[in-house]
A and B are shown apart, each in its own frame.
Chain A
């Protein structure tokens, strides 16, 4: 891999140069203490960039897997795909390692037996530029082994004093770097040591930890545990955890008929297994009737059954579900409890 150094002062210019090849999205502040990825509409928007943001409200999935989208339009004559918007190259700057892992997880899911073209037609046009981060009180990516990435990014920026150590991940990333090659410098041994120091400091900064090695097994053994009923009582099924989760991917499909009664659109929308109707089938039979059942299902899928299929849990430890849960349900506390700690 190729590494270069970008002095921190040169960062704005590097980002502005990226606008020559695509739409650039950066983390900005929303509300009093939240953040979102938002498109830069004008060069001055660079001043809104929050390099030390904790996590965005929605993860990156909003870019590839739209909350609501039209799958096709139909009429008596058959169906047609909606007209594709002109292809735009989107570059998302400042993505944390856990979120890149989230995207890689969704790539796995959507590229399975039935490849999801809706997802990939957007995914292929989006470049990710990673950014190192310090954990806050909700982060547990180190426990999920998602605190570093070796793939999934075009460039990755790691903070070192007054500069960034930039790792090139793809040839596309190399092209982006070459747009501003004069802003970059060669790295020195001092930079490597600074990078290593940052890594050590970061490792020590994690306040939470979860042992996932035996978690799938214990969850399986505790399938009938009373813990699920207790959690079912606390949970409001509001669906927040699912919407903000980088790896929740369920959707519902519905038809929106036109008033002419001859045509319509088939649409899909993010769904959540905590919603009562999610597992409802014909005759109003519901496979997961109680909130406790639904809660257990979501959690088991995230930490246990996903691992059974894909070899690792789908949780990336981003901390969104912990920070955003109105009922303060904390996946780490409860997992520790179920593990008997």
Chain B
């Protein structure tokens, strides 16, 4: 059987997810021997933009160029994987989507700022193309990347965590920051997978894995209002990762 042809790409992003793949130090050689990596700009030269069995795409669509590139990749990939919270949900790039691009460009690049770049309100891949599989995380979890990768190669059903962070946090026997200390924590509506990395160090969850399926935003807002956080603060902090107008549209 020929090896699956893989392409790994980044749109507007920090390249953290691509870097996570490179950080799989113990497994990377084995991975490379099982697939034919046609394109991976971050890691190799001589890339070949050709038909792919799997395209892994990181980042948000934030420019016209991103959009064209995404459509071009989708056009030649049998399976498209949205890699990382930005690609899956828009992530923090969507925080300023309520302000016009012109205003933002001028704010950052000066009076003529809007003349230099094309810029679109940041959006996740699935708003434009069919995404076959999301691998969320900021960055993606090495463990889940590997498990999904292996399941895919083996032809298994791909199972990813589909429950909220609180359960993983409980298994670590962390004292609940939200309940016991009244600290602003987005655990109840955030997708698990990180084994409660931050709460295990007394740092509340800011939702970097994106929202859990059917996240109960209203209930989380009520929980936080009950702890005397203002609606303004709740909106601001939720808007960081787990809740933004783009997500709302798709619920």
A326 at the interface (CB under 8 A from B): yes
Encode contact with B along A134-162: 1 for CB under 8 Å, 0 otherwise. Answer: 00000000000000000000000000000
14 A-B contacts (beta carbon < 8 Å): A56-B173, A67-B171, A234-B222, A236-B219, A237-B163, A237-B164, A238-B165, A239-B163, A240-B176, A256-B150, A257-B153, A272-B163, A291-B214, A324-B179
Q: Of residues 264 to 311 in A, which have CB atoms within 8 Å of B's CB atoms?
A: 270, 272, 275-277, 291
Residue of A nearest to B185 (CB): A326
Q: How far, in Å, is A111 (CB) from chain B's closest CB?
A: 24
Evaluate contact between A58 and B170: CB separation under 8 angstroms.
yes
- List A contacts of B216 (CB < 8 A): 233, 235-237, 291
Encode contact with A along B123-165: 1 for CB under 8 Å, 0 otherwise. Answer: 0000000000000000000000011001101101001001111
Cα distance, A133 to B181, chains bound together (Å):
24
Evaluate contact between B166 and A238: CB separation under 8 angstroms.
yes
B103 at the interface (CB under 8 A from A): no
B54 at the interface (CB under 8 A from A): no
- List B contacts of A238 (CB < 8 A): 164-167, 187-188
Stretch at the interface among A26-34, A77-85, A331-339: A26-34
Cα distance, A183 to B185, chains bound together (Å):
48
B65 at the interface (CB under 8 A from A): no
Evaluate contact between A326 and B175: CB separation under 8 angstroms.
no
Chain A's interface size range is 35 or more
Partner pick for B174 among A31, A33, A325, CB 8 A cutoff: A31
Residue of A nearest to B24 (CB): A259
Residue of B nearest to A56 (CB): B173
Evaluate contact between B164 and A236: CB separation under 8 angstroms.
yes
Closest CB pairs A-B (n = 5)? A31-B175, A238-B166, A239-B167, A243-B170, A236-B188
Most buried by B among A234, A238, A256, A291: A238
- List B contacts of A58 (CB < 8 A): 170-171, 173
Q: How far, in Å, is B167 (CB) from chain A's closest CB?
A: 4
- List B contacts of A234 (CB < 8 A): 219, 222
- List B contacts of A272 (CB < 8 A): 163, 167
A166 at the interface (CB under 8 A from B): no
Cα distance, A22 to B146, chains bound together (Å):
39
Cα distance, A76 to B99, chains bound together (Å):
58
Evaluate contact between A328 and B167: CB separation under 8 angstroms.
no
Known contacts A32-B180, A240-B166, A328-B226; A259/B27 CB under 8 A: yes
Cα distance, A328 to B179, chains bound together (Å):
9
Evaluate contact between B180 and A259: CB separation under 8 angstroms.
no
Cα distance, A56 to B223, chains bound together (Å):
23
Evaluate contact between B153 and A261: CB separation under 8 angstroms.
yes
8 more contacts with CB within 8 A, not counting A33-B175, A236-B166, A238-B164, are A36-B173, A58-B171, A236-B188, A240-B167, A243-B167, A244-B170, A259-B146, A261-B154
Evaluate contact between B162 and A276: CB separation under 8 angstroms.
yes
B68 at the interface (CB under 8 A from A): no
A57 at the interface (CB under 8 A from B): yes
Encode contact with B along A241-261: 1 for CB under 8 Å, 0 otherwise. Answer: 011100000000011111111
